[in-house]
Amino acid sequence: MGPFEMVVAIILIVTIGKIIQTKQKAKNGIVEDQDFMGTKTHRLLNSAETQQMQDEIRALKERVQVLERIATDSSSTNDLNRQIEELRGR
């Protein structure tokens, strides 16, 4: 086996290893994120923290929709005050 075949074999082995590793991580729900500096972080999909953040985002979106509706509706001042108090109560 010449040096060229050896290099090709090493690259092939490393590539196949990375593919297997990535498949196993995906199977177990592990996601690898890389920021702009090249730092890699691992996180689990559908973890409790992720679910909590999704619930919080959903609640914030609902509040924004209510505020947009309040801002664009041409309703009376009393109705506007009542809707704002309802938001504070949530």
CA distances from residue 23 to 3, 6, 13 in whole angstroms, order as listed: 30, 26, 15
Quote helix, strand, coil % in the chain, to nearest 5.
70, 10, 20
CB atoms < 10 A from the CB of 25, how many?
Answer: 13
The domain limits of the chain are: 1-44, 46-90
Please answer whether residues 30 and 50 qualify as being in contact, where contact means their C-beta atoms are separated by less than 8 angstroms: no
**What's the pLDDT at 46?**
66
Please, which pLDDT band fits residue 43 given cuts at 50, 70 and 90? low
**What's the pLDDT at 27?**
77
The predicted-structure confidence for 53-89, as pLDDT tens digits, reads as follows: 889 999 999 999 888 887 777 666 777 778 778 888 7
